[in-house]
Amino acid sequence: MSDLKKAGSALISVFNKEGLEPIVKKLNELGITIYSTGGTENFIKELGIDVVPVEDITSYPSILGGRVKTLHPKVFGGILNRQENESDVKELTEYEIPQLDIVIVDLYPFEKTVASGASEEDIIEKIDIGGISLIRAAAKNFKDVLCVSSVEDYSDFQQLLEEKNGETSLADRKLYAGKAFNISSHYDTAIFNYFNAEGDIAAYKQSIQTGKTLRYGENPHQKGTFYGDFDAMFSKLHGKELSYNNLLDLDAAVNLINEFKEEAPTFAILKHNNACGLAQRETLHQAYTDALAGDPVSAFGGVLISNQEIDKATAEEIHKLFCEVVIAPSFSSEAEEILKGKKNRILLIQKETELPKQQVRTCLNGVLVQDTNTKTDVAEDLKQATNNKPTNAELSDLLFASKICKHTKSNTIVLVKNKQLCASGTGQTSRVDALEQSIVKARAFKFDLKGAVMASDAFFPFPDCVEIAGKAGISAVIQPGGSIKDQLSIDYCNENNIAMVMTGTRHFKH
């Protein structure tokens, strides 16, 4: 037996009338009776198309300022009846309930209203009750009813009407039911999160309606998907598909470069989510050259990000390097042309967007959620711990190093000289290891550490780090402070002419 059903009627109740016209025209052409609510009814009438007011079904006006218009047994009976069930069909006749085969609903814009900063009263009025009930009822009864719950589905639905002349298959109806529950659950999640803005209720709900299957996860034997709106953050100009690992690097890169947003030309090179090169200079070309000099070995296959438009001169330098991704607020047309010279190289324009206020990661059998670390250490935060005061140049390098430190995996030590990352120790199990790694790396790339500064993401539990740093020529240190043995580190610095400032803020990153 064919599971195709010919629709004879449709109930339409939409907030946003845009895109509805061709659908209404097609339904009318197919001889489908259209029922509708107030505003939608007027819209359809103005198109010169016959429409039956929903009040003709309910024999009730819309009441309470529109809070109750479709919430009526005759409307829900028309949607929820099982056509295979004899007693349901009998009841339809007994109570004069019209069968409703198609339900088209577009909900009140709750999230947009919240985002607009509207008053609580306005927000509450945008909690759609009738519409969400129509969607749930129609989707539940997908065996008999097709539910269109989003403007996004209008063009597919239009095509369906055209191809099948008003007939729908069970598979079509079930697919649309799934989409409908995607809409209704997303809507309710947004409402819950509005009511639980203070987090008083210990429940975590997130709903992301857009996702992209990636070629694979972190490794080729793992499946991977990105749930998020990539296009809201970037415009892709060129290059191959982004991978799972590219996306992780992008996340690290934009978070890092945002620290230098309003500053002089700054260029960063990242590998495995850590900066392996970063410099700030008068020209972007120089910033790139000096970022690369930080670690030209690690830069191979890296992700590059700039806080300024990439110009021709910088692009010509970048073009000599094999790199996966180049991100910038914009590219000059010559730079774009040059960088497109490698087929796979990904070029991205970073749009002006806010980053999420919370960070989420899986943990054990659940998730860990925390506020994003938005604290950037500034001069006013600093407490001078030593007799020696850092010079102005050292102070600006210390704050510069502290910003990099905040975005480097713990334990980390970052060494900076003249607004250039000399080296960092990343993701080490001891702070001494992190420091020694950074010194070895800096020396390997011919940095003279005399007069360089050191940033540490957390306090020094022992004076060993300042001792090693002092012997390497480091002249100033920035760290949170707070160890019971702080004084031992301070004493060593005082005895060896090293300036130390404390921020009072730890910047672990795991």
Ligand X SMILES: NC(=O)c1ncn([C@@H]2O[C@H](COP(=O)(O)O)[C@@H](O)[C@H]2O)c1NC=O
Using rule CB under 6 A, residue 184 touches ligand X = no
| Marked catalytic residue, from 164, 236, 272, 340 | 272
Burial 304-327 (b: 16+ CB within 10 A, else e): bbbbbebbebbbeebbebebbbbb
Q: How far is the CB of 23 from ligand X (least distance, A)?
A: 14
Query: Is residue 130 part of the contact set for ligand X (CB under 6 A)?
Result: yes
Distance between CA atoms of 141 and 102, rounded to whole angstroms?
11
DSSP state of 85: -
- The residues that bridge with 348 in the sheet, in sequence order, are 236, 327
SS (H, E, C) 219-247: CCCCCCEEECCHHHHEEEEECCCCCHHHH
| ∠ Cα 17 50 34 (to 5°) | 65
Contact flag: residue 45 with ligand X (CB under 6 A): no
Could you give phi then psi for residue 75, rounded to 5 degrees?
Answer: -75, -50
Tell which one of 15, 181, 194, 230 touches ligand X (CB under 6 A): 15
Site membership for ligand X, residue 311 (CB under 6 A): no
Of residues 44 and 454, the one with the C-beta less far from ligand X: 44
CA–CA gap between residue 214 and residue 228 (Å, rounded)? 12
**Quick one: which of 128, 144, 153, 295 contacts ligand X (CB under 6 A)?**
128
What's the min distance (Å) between Cβ of 221 and ligand X?
Answer: 45
- Choose the catalytic residue: 25, 26, 140, 238: 140
496: phi then psi, degrees, rounded to nearest 5? -120, 20
Query: What is the rounded distance in angstroms from the CA atom of residue 448 to the CA atom of residue 418?
Result: 11
70 binds ligand X (CB under 6 A): yes
> Least distance (Å) from ligand X to the CB of residue 161?
21
Q: How far apart are CA 265 and CA 273, in angstroms?
A: 21
Contact 414, 438 (CB under 8 A): yes
131 contributes a contact to ligand X by CB under 6 A: yes
Nearer to ligand X, 14 or 465 (CB): 14
**Whose Cβ is closer to ligand X: residue 105's or residue 327's?**
105
Task: Please say if 272 is a catalytic residue.
Answer: yes
Q: Does 14 bind ligand X (CB under 6 A)?
A: yes
Which residue, 68 or 468, is less far from ligand X as judged by CB? 68
Kindly state whether residue 239 participates in binding ligand X, applying the rule CB under 6 A. Answer: no
Both tokens of 75, joined, read: 């409307």
Q: How many residues bind ligand X (CB under 6 A)?
A: 21
Confirm if 336 and 182 have CB atoms less than 8 A apart.
no
Dihedral (CA of 290, 346, 332, 337) sign? positive
CB 42 within 8 A of CB 51: no
Q: Which is nearer to ligand X, 11 or 348 (CB)?
A: 11
CA distance 466 to 488: 10
The span of 77-85, 102-110, 224-232, 314-322 binding ligand X (CB under 6 A) equals: 102-110
Active site annotation includes 446: no
Q: Which stretch binds ligand X (CB under 6 A): 10-18, 23-31, 139-147, 298-306?
A: 10-18
68 binds ligand X (CB under 6 A): yes
* Listed ranges 63-71, 268-276, 364-372, 398-406: which one lies at the site for ligand X (CB under 6 A): 63-71
Q: How far is the CB of 113 from ligand X (least distance, A)?
A: 12
Q: Which is nearer to ligand X, 75 or 472 (CB)?
A: 75
- Residue from 38, 228, 461, 482 touching ligand X (CB under 6 A): that is 38
Helix (H) or strand (E) holding 434: helix 431-444
Residue 42 or 387 with smaller CB distance to ligand X: 42
Q: Does 150 bind ligand X (CB under 6 A)?
A: no
Chosen residue from 20, 27, 104, 105 binding ligand X by CB under 6 A: 105
What six digits make up the tokens of 245?
Answer: 């690992």
Backbone angles phi, psi at 426, to 5 degrees: -125, 135
Positions touching ligand X (CB under 6 A) are 13-15, 37-40, 66-71, 105-108, 128-131
Hey, which residues are catalytic here?
140, 272
